Chains A and B, each alone.
Chain A
Amino acid sequence: MGAAMPVTRNKPEVMIRLDNVSKHYDMDSVGVTALDSVSLRVDEGEFIVVLGPSGSGKTTLLNMIGALDTPSSGEIAVAGMRVTGARRKELFSFRRRAVAFIFQSFNLFPGLTALENVQFAVDVTGGHDREEARRMLAEVGLGERVEHFPHELSGGEQQRVAIARALATGNPVLLADEPTGELDFRTGVAILELLRKQAEAGKTVLVVTHNREISRVADRVVELSSGKIISDGPPEGGRALISDLRW
């Protein structure tokens, strides 16, 4: 597949930077450390998989990068903005301009059609192109299903709408938490392919998974365990084509 072609850039910029980020939860005197001094740099246009067992802190990490959550200590900068220490108002505007989320359980608006769900993202980010939403749906292969409500679509189709919605924001960073978690193998592969294409088009894409097989398609795999990065580099045994994956 052509998607396997790496994108070469003259001077990749650092899109995401974490320095010594930790997150502690204090619950009834029992403290939980979700992240423990994590430092990480991600360049623009990278396709990264965050791998780790359940409870290792993957979601926490992703939420920190997306400014949905604040670290207990450490520094985070994304798309040129220092996220830590920013005011609430700035964080909201950061989320409109810099990042776009894709969730395991899709989180589409049940009252909106596929097209309207995507149009929402165009509107929120202040876009004016009335055709953008339709184009994005066509891009994820749902050009025919624009008028359908989420409950009228399959899980895989819903996740594509969610990706189209994230793309429609036009934001440089895509954050996907277990995007294939609720999907079967074939559908999951297709979704991954779609995300991978976005990285090739210049987006910085972070995909969280606990599935080692999926991590094989990444440029780079960041492995977490108990809140710590235990390895960071190309996937074991080199990058695989998506068509080579076995679940």
Chain B
Amino acid sequence: MRRFSFWLLWSLRELRRRWVQVAVIALVIAIGTGVYAGLSSTSDWRRASYDASYEALNAHDLHVTLAEGSYVPQNDLQNALSAMQHPEWVDQAEERLIQPTQVEASRADDTVLVPGRVVGIPTAGGAPGIDKIYVASGSGFSEGSGAVLDAHFADQYKLPEEGTVELAGGVPVQYSGTGFSPEYFIITTGQGDFNAQANFAVLFMPLEEIQTITGRTRQVNDLVLSLQAGTDRGAAATEVEQALAIALPDVGVEVETIEDDAAYHVLYQDVDSDQGTNVAIAFLVLLGAAFAAFNLINRIVESERREIGIGMALGVPRRTIALRPLLVGGEIAALGVVFGIGIGFLMGSLLGSALSSLQPLPVWRTPFQVGPFAGAAAVGFLLPFLATAWPVWRAVRVEPVQALQTGHLAARGGGLAPLLKRLRLPGKSLGQMPVRNILRAPRRTILTALGIGATIVVLVAVLGTLDSINEVLNRMSAELNKGAPERVTVTLANFQPADSDLAKAIENSPAVGSAESTLTGGASITNEGTRLDMQVQALDMESPIWHPTVNSAVDAGGLPGIVLAEKAASDLHLKPGDTLMLTLPYRTGETTFALRQTEMRLTGLHPNPIRLFAYIDIEEANLFGLAGFTNGFQLIPASGYSASDVKEAMFHLPGVASAQEPAAVADTTRDQLRQFSSIFQIVGGFVFLLALLIAFSAASISVDERRRENATMEAYGVRVRTLLRIAAIESGMIGILGTILGVGLGVLALGWLLSRTSGTIPDIQLLVSVKPATIIITLAVGIAATAIAPLLNVRKLRRMDVPSTLRVME
């Protein structure tokens, strides 16, 4: 027996001889490894950066909000905390006043008028100490003055780092810089969306100033607390709730921990679900590489059956015989991993800088991640290596005599070719060739199809995600725009009597054709242990302007009725006709609301995919204790006026928090998605490349394996062009098989992806939707890549030395 170095050198010679195929497979492995390492690194960077950013701005542990429309005198909330059983748990507490408002930031050529909120925070003496403001540009608060505009919003509309915006009623506010606090690390409008800065503006101002502007002198409606290190947030929340219930019995309060914070939830959930997706994508790419590596090693082993047989006949142990092909497999895998680390490093640094510019945070940490890279290297090596071990193991298990049989005795028809004896194919010999070849090598056909299928899954999943999001947006727009596309919905900053000056001003505005008042309030439903937050709107359920579509309607049977989104009903395990307990704010005084439970009947389901929306008839307004009050309108423009005119008119009325087309969120989200189309083109190109590489590797193996047959055909005058056409059709057919497989599995994968996404954005009913265009693009990519791949062998075929190939004795 020879030394290891002998086998190593021999295996390296093998690599050199097949360097094109080796390079192709190594490249596929490299892409898989690189994708895994690069994407996994970003997950770790994001998690570390979020942790550090929340820490840096001393994010709150607990957040107390008052029921909508409730205000209490300043210091009441803070003072109430002394009634806690363990007041020493609280490190700091700060009161705030948060008011919804319209924000206008229009500039010369661009109208920007969006709903938003002003956040009044203590700014004197080092405050705020909790939920500090990270100033991204310009300057923050000094000496209790200044205002900071949300940087996401400012970036979205390319606003200067200092300037003026107007609040509802035309109140101008000078802002001194842009920035945000932890609750606004990512912007949500509270309707289950995120990255909503195009439709939502936040302005941070000194508490006293906002109290003055809104006429709520020395009033607050919000409290944030930070706890002593090591304190149980849940236990503290319960104590705070109890203390506030004693001190302020008429006011409904809700206490949430930082984990309940919408931005916090979205950020961390998104990292988790992205990480799952990344691993899945990288795994699919590596799987494709493994199949390709398997095919190549299988071919190497098969073409060396005779050497293996001779070795066995000479008494070389099987282990030793297996060593060389195993070394070849290991070397290909190692080569792939080495390049993969490079690709991963490159990808990581690109993604790292893209991330920090796409998502501004006070702290971004992007150190080299040893763990993900080591993991990627291990998987990237093992998967293809194990794929090579199987054919090697099979080859060395045959009897020596079998291995030695060669030439005309061993050159079997192969695979499923005998099937064809029964199955008469139409057409001439050359036309039948592709089908015959496919059936002759069924294992390679299937593995290649699986490899291509694996990459196609990635494309279907990515394009399908886009389709599904678009489908949600379309469902949303269809429901909200039905009947009245020019409708404008208005929300007021506070509840107003139906005959108040503001209500009259709205109804009598010359831009408004018809108006109808609505009442909207935050509420919640608990059923079978699941609690969902709801935004309940009371409106005329028979309104000629707009009313929700009600499916599966049932009679309320004496109880007040409520209409929920399909997803809300199914998440709560409710069906139409069931009764449920609705917790909603009930007016207890001029500016106070308590939370009250009411038994309701689910009278139907509306098709809006946003789970949050619930509707009751305006006749039931008394459930809020608000009969005769209003905090919203739906309007139709007067003839000669447009929706924009109405919005403009509403902006100038103080007390209007927002006026917008009801589907504005869907529309801007759709616009934002369109900006991502280049990403999908990149993914498409990338999948095309992978499919091309895998198909090329298979086709190039076939050309090697059929050299003799091809040479014979050339001797009989069959042209190279015809041989290429046969190969292209054969490969294209494998491509069709793989693509169909990929589309099928892709739809399943999409379902899995969307179910994960549902964890991040549970408020949206995402349904698996794959547009015909996606199927067509996918088929085109899969089939084009596979049909083109064999053409890359043109050189090999043209350069084939026909005489020597024919002369070779097998």
- Given the interface contacts A59-B803, A59-B807, A120-B429, does A113 sit within 8 Å of B421 by beta carbon? yes
Are the CB atoms of A95 and B411 closer together than 8 Å?
no
Instruction: For residue B427, give the distance in angstroms from its CB to the closest CB of chain A.
Output: 9
Q: Is A97 in the interface zone, CB < 8 Å from B? A: yes
Instruction: Give chain A residues whose Cβ lies under 8 Å from the Cβ of B436.
Output: 111-112
Q: Hey, what's the 0/1 contact readout for B704-732 against A, CB within 8 Å counting as 1?
A: 00001101111111110000000000000
Complex CA gap A131/B411 in Å reads: 27
Q: Hey, what's the 0/1 contact readout for A98-115 against B, CB within 8 Å counting as 1?
A: 001101111111111100
Which residue of B has the minimal Cβ distance to A152? B413
Are the CB atoms of A95 and B717 closer together than 8 Å?
yes
Q: Is A68 in the interface zone, CB < 8 Å from B? A: yes
Which residue of A has the minimal Cβ distance to B802? A68
- Given the interface contacts A93-B717, A112-B436, does A123 sit within 8 Å of B408 by beta carbon? no
Complex CA gap A103/B718 in Å reads: 17
Q: Hey, what's the 0/1 contact readout for A139-169 against B, CB within 8 Å counting as 1?
A: 0000000010111000100100000000001
Complex CA gap A105/B412 in Å reads: 15
Q: Is A121 in the interface zone, CB < 8 Å from B? A: yes
Q: Is A94 in the interface zone, CB < 8 Å from B? A: yes
Which residue of B has the minimal Cβ distance to A124? B716
Are the CB atoms of A151 and B408 closer together than 8 Å?
yes
Are the CB atoms of B810 and A105 closer together than 8 Å?
yes
Are the CB atoms of B429 and A151 closer together than 8 Å?
no
Are the CB atoms of A116 and B429 closer together than 8 Å?
yes
Which residue of B has the minimal Cβ distance to A116? B429
For residues 400 through 446 of chain B, which have their beta carbon under 8 Å from a beta carbon of chain A?
A: 407-414, 417-418, 421, 428-430, 436-437, 440
Complex CA gap A126/B620 in Å reads: 87
Are the CB atoms of A151 and B409 closer together than 8 Å?
yes
Most B Cβ at <10 Å: residue of A111, A124, A151:
A111
Q: Hey, what's the 0/1 contact readout for A55-77 against B, CB within 8 Å counting as 1?
A: 00001100100101100000000
Are the CB atoms of A68 and B803 closer together than 8 Å?
yes
Q: Is B809 in the interface zone, CB < 8 Å from A? A: yes
Instruction: For residue A182, give the distance in angstroms from its CB to the closest CB of chain B.
Output: 8
- Given the interface contacts A63-B803, A89-B719, A96-B717, does A124 sit within 8 Å of B429 by beta carbon? yes
Most B Cβ at <10 Å: residue of A69, A95, A104, A169:
A95
Are the CB atoms of B430 and A68 closer together than 8 Å?
no
Instruction: For residue B448, give the distance in angstroms from its CB to the closest CB of chain A.
Output: 18
Q: Hey, what's the 0/1 contact readout for A223-244 against B, CB within 8 Å counting as 1?
A: 0000000000000000000000
Are the CB atoms of B417 and A111 closer together than 8 Å?
yes
Which residue of A has the minimal Cβ distance to B413? A149
Are the CB atoms of A106 and B802 closer together than 8 Å?
no
Most A Cβ at <10 Å: residue of B408, B709, B808:
B408
Are the CB atoms of A151 and B716 closer together than 8 Å?
no
- Given the interface contacts A66-B715, A97-B717, A111-B436, does A150 sit within 8 Å of B429 by beta carbon? no
Are the CB atoms of B717 and A123 closer together than 8 Å?
no
The number of inter-chain residue pairs (CB within 8 angstroms) is: 98
Instruction: Give chain A residues whose Cβ lies under 8 Å from the Cβ of B719.
Output: 89, 92
Q: Is B246 in the interface zone, CB < 8 Å from A? A: no
Instruction: Give chain A residues whose Cβ lies under 8 Å from the Cβ of B807.
Output: 59
Complex CA gap A112/B809 in Å reads: 20
* Contact for B716 among A101, A111, A119, CB less than 8 A: A101
Q: Is B346 in the interface zone, CB < 8 Å from A? A: no
Instruction: For residue B378, give the distance in angstroms from its CB to the closest CB of chain A.
Output: 41
Instruction: Give chain B residues whose Cβ lies under 8 Å from the Cβ of A158.
Output: 408
Q: Is B806 in the interface zone, CB < 8 Å from A? A: yes
For residues 30 through 73 of chain A, which have their beta carbon under 8 Å from a beta carbon of chain B?
A: 59-60, 63, 66, 68-69
* Contact for A101 among B408, B437, B708, B715, CB less than 8 A: B715
Are the CB atoms of B803 and A69 closer together than 8 Å?
yes
Number of interface residues of B (CB under 8 A): 35
* Contact for A68 among B429, B709, B715, CB less than 8 A: B715
Which residue of B has the minimal Cβ distance to A122? B429
Are the CB atoms of A123 and B429 closer together than 8 Å?
yes
Instruction: For residue A163, give the distance in angstroms from its CB to the closest CB of chain B.
Output: 14
- Given the interface contacts A68-B803, A147-B421, A150-B413, does A106 sit within 8 Å of B408 by beta carbon? yes
Instruction: Give chain B residues whose Cβ lies under 8 Å from the Cβ of A66.
Output: 715
Are the CB atoms of B408 and A155 closer together than 8 Å?
yes
* Contact for A149 among B412, B714, B715, B809, CB less than 8 A: B412
Complex CA gap A169/B712 in Å reads: 14
Are the CB atoms of A124 and B718 closer together than 8 Å?
yes
For residues 712 through 763 of chain B, which have their beta carbon under 8 Å from a beta carbon of chain A?
A: 712-719
Instruction: For residue A154, give the distance in angstroms from its CB to the closest CB of chain B.
Output: 9
Which residue of B has the minimal Cβ distance to A97? B717
Instruction: For residue B618, give the distance in angstroms from its CB to the closest CB of chain A.
Output: 78
Instruction: Give chain A residues whose Cβ lies under 8 Å from the Cβ of B417.
Output: 111, 149
Instruction: For residue B312, give the distance in angstroms from its CB to the closest CB of chain A.
Output: 22
Which residue of A has the minimal Cβ distance to B412? A151
Q: Hey, what's the 0/1 contact readout for B522-542 against A, CB within 8 Å counting as 1?
A: 000000000000000000000
Instruction: For residue A88, give the distance in angstroms from its CB to the closest CB of chain B.
Output: 9
Instruction: Give chain A residues whose Cβ lies under 8 Å from the Cβ of B716.
Output: 95-96, 100-101, 120-121, 124, 169
Complex CA gap A150/B410 in Å reads: 10
Are the CB atoms of B411 and A92 closer together than 8 Å?
no
Which residue of A has the minimal Cβ distance to B436? A111
Complex CA gap A13/B716 in Å reads: 24
Are the CB atoms of B412 and A107 closer together than 8 Å?
no
Instruction: Give chain A residues whose Cβ lies under 8 Å from the Cβ of B430.
Output: 120, 123-124
Which residue of A has the minimal Cβ distance to B418? A149
Are the CB atoms of B712 and A109 closer together than 8 Å?
yes
Instruction: Give chain B residues whose Cβ lies under 8 Å from the Cβ of A103.
Output: 712, 806
Q: Hey, what's the 0/1 contact readout for A183-203 against B, CB within 8 Å counting as 1?
A: 000000000000000000000
Instruction: Give chain A residues whose Cβ lies under 8 Å from the Cβ of B803.
Output: 59-60, 63, 68-69
Are the CB atoms of A109 and B709 closer together than 8 Å?
yes
Instruction: For residue B441, give the distance in angstroms from its CB to the closest CB of chain A.
Output: 9
Which residue of B has the minimal Cβ distance to A96? B717
A-B interface, 5 closest residue pairs, ranked by CB to CB distance from nearest: A96-B717, A95-B717, A123-B428, A120-B429, A149-B413
Q: Chain A interface (Cβ within 8 Å of chain B)?
A: 59-60, 63, 66, 68-69, 89, 92-97, 100-101, 103-113, 116, 119-121, 123-125, 147, 149-151, 155, 158, 169
23 contacts between A and B (CB under 8 A): A59-B807, A63-B803, A68-B802, A68-B803, A92-B718, A95-B715, A96-B716, A96-B718, A97-B717, A100-B716, A103-B806, A105-B407, A106-B408, A107-B708, A110-B412, A110-B413, A112-B429, A120-B716, A149-B412, A150-B408, A151-B408, A151-B411, A155-B408
Known: A103-B806, A111-B437, A113-B421. 18 other contacts (CB 8 A): A92-B719, A95-B714, A95-B716, A97-B717, A105-B808, A107-B708, A107-B712, A107-B715, A109-B709, A109-B712, A110-B414, A112-B429, A121-B716, A123-B430, A149-B417, A149-B418, A151-B412, A151-B413
